[in-house]
Amino acid sequence: MLEIQRIRNEKDAIAAGLKKRNLDALPVLDEILEVDAQWRSLKGELDQLGAESNKLAKEIGGLFKEGKVEEANAAKSKTAEIKSREQEVKQKVADLEQQITELLYTLPNVPKEIVPAGSSENDNEVVEEVGSKADIAENALPHWELTEKYGLIDFELGVKVTGSGFPIYKGKGAKLQRALINFFLAEAERGGYEEFIPPLVVNEASGYGTGQLPDKEGQMYHVGVDDLYLIPTAEVPLTNMYRDVILPTEDFSVKITGYTPCFRREAGSYGKDVRGLNRLHQFDKVELVRIEHPDRSDAALTDMVNHVKGLLEKLGLHYRILRLCGGDLGFTSAITYDFEVYSAAQGRWLEVSSVSNFETFQANRLKLRYKSADKKTQLCHTLNGSALALPRIMAALLENNQTENGIIIPEVLHSFTGFDRID
């Protein structure tokens, strides 16, 4: 959520930044400032009424002691009038605060200056490409045929048990999935991240805290009876562990990780591009979350990007990094780098990770702050990144490493799988 003080001071700059998202934000910004002006006026009146009430309360006691009963009763009567007006103004102030909050919820984060303008994924910038296309046979199979051939994943059984988008992994497919999770967690530990196992459902406050609500409400599974949401990513519970927290000093760098299943409704996703593992309603992912001092968050973002690069290089996958344009940027992000691996059998790029800096946008919602050297509370910066999402990594590994004699497992996974090939 954008900070109201920032809107007061930088309205035109914010409007210009949001144009990168193809959003004309001026009407909403002007409405926010108009409501804010009303709020500040009434807040001033409320403070004045409170001071006047306190002053009269002190005077009343003195008047009674001096025997000035009539004057004391007059003061009490005036106090009652003030209290009545105070309650009326207090309710108006609360209503205006809620109105401002609801307006702020409609505005996405302001893209950083380096983020390119653009309207869709076609305008994203390729920052780097590493590796080359896998040398596979012309008749190479896509992963949904490989998993059937070698008995790794049963998509139809998942449909029977739950529905489309909920595959059942089995045999070496299940072991490879578990091996990838353990490999990603081991690498996160090597990178200095502390591991957590968070809940798989969160309350509404957590959804609002990291920005999934109200923006992505339709994409989340909602448990109506308990008013809880299945997590779309471990980012939500991990980051919300620090909701309403004030870190005691400015000397901090919080690095946490967690593996979870993730649940996304992905309404309206159909067609060949979402076949097999390409788009699921339930999938596994290892997530990285960081909470950083504003002066150090850019360096933290670079470190996270390098961490994901290291994972893909150890797996021997051909990948590229995209800097997302304003039109493709997530609602809460100030800057995002997407990682895509190349699927030689499908002949297309598959997104496997997003690494983002949210700056103060989430922290403002979360009330996540730190105490600076001068003892003032300041908003932290939050970041997160997939390290990595499993389905498309699995798809790329199976497709790119297929041979006439089976599927070769990358050497870095041998100690986790217990086997070096699938045949």
Query: 320 and 376 in contact (C-beta within 8 Å)?
Result: no
CATH number of the domain encompassing residue 271: 3.30.930.10
Do 260 and 384 fall into the same domain? yes
Per-residue pLDDT of the chain in tens (423 residues, 90 and over written 9): 999 999 999 999 999 999 999 999 999 999 999 999 999 999 999 999 989 888 888 888 787 777 777 887 887 888 888 989 999 999 999 999 999 999 999 999 999 999 999 999 999 999 999 999 999 998 999 999 999 999 999 999 999 999 999 999 999 999 999 999 999 999 999 999 999 999 999 999 999 999 999 988 789 999 999 999 999 999 999 999 999 999 999 999 999 999 999 999 975 455 557 899 999 999 999 999 999 999 999 999 999 999 999 999 999 999 999 999 999 999 999 999 999 999 999 999 999 999 999 999 999 999 999 999 999 999 999 999 999 999 999 999 999 999 999 999 999 999 999 999 999
Do 373 and 320 fall into the same domain? yes
Query: 182 and 167 in contact (C-beta within 8 Å)?
Result: no
Last residue of a domain, one of 76, 105, 134: 105
**How many angstroms separate the CA atoms of 239 and 384, rounded?**
9
Number of C-beta neighbours around residue 393 at 10 A: 25
- Assigned domain for 24 exists: yes
Do 226 and 311 fall into the same domain? yes
Q: How far is CA 272 from CA 144, 148, 276, 343, 415, in A?
A: 11, 17, 9, 14, 35
In this prediction the pTM is: 0.93
Do 235 and 374 fall into the same domain? yes
Do 301 and 397 fall into the same domain? yes
- Assigned domain for 412 exists: yes
- Assigned domain for 113 exists: no
Overall number of domains in the chain: 2
Count Cα neighbours of 172 within 13 Å in the Cβ-side half-sphere: 20
Task: Please give the single-letter amino acid code of residue 153.
Answer: I
Do 342 and 372 fall into the same domain? yes
Which residues span the domain enclosing 283?
A: 121-422
The pairs formed by 12-21 with CB atoms below 8 angstroms and a separation of 24 or more are: 14/110, 17/110, 17/111, 18/107, 18/108, 18/110, 18/111, 19/117, 19/326, 20/111, 20/115, 20/116, 20/117, 20/118, 20/325, 20/326, 20/327, 20/329, 21/108, 21/111, 21/326, 21/327, 21/329
Do 168 and 97 fall into the same domain? no
Query: 11 and 28 in contact (C-beta within 8 Å)?
Result: no
- Assigned domain for 404 exists: yes
- Assigned domain for 112 exists: no
Contacts of 240 (CB under 8 A, 6+ apart): 202, 205, 206, 209, 210, 366
CATH number of the domain encompassing residue 93: 1.10.287.40
**How many angstroms separate the CA atoms of 270 and 163, rounded?**
14
Do 196 and 234 fall into the same domain? yes
Do 287 and 403 fall into the same domain? yes
- Assigned domain for 114 exists: no
Do 87 and 194 fall into the same domain? no
Do 264 and 409 fall into the same domain? yes
- Assigned domain for 110 exists: no
- Assigned domain for 116 exists: no
Q: Answer whether the bond into residue 294 is a cis peptide, omega within 30°.
A: no
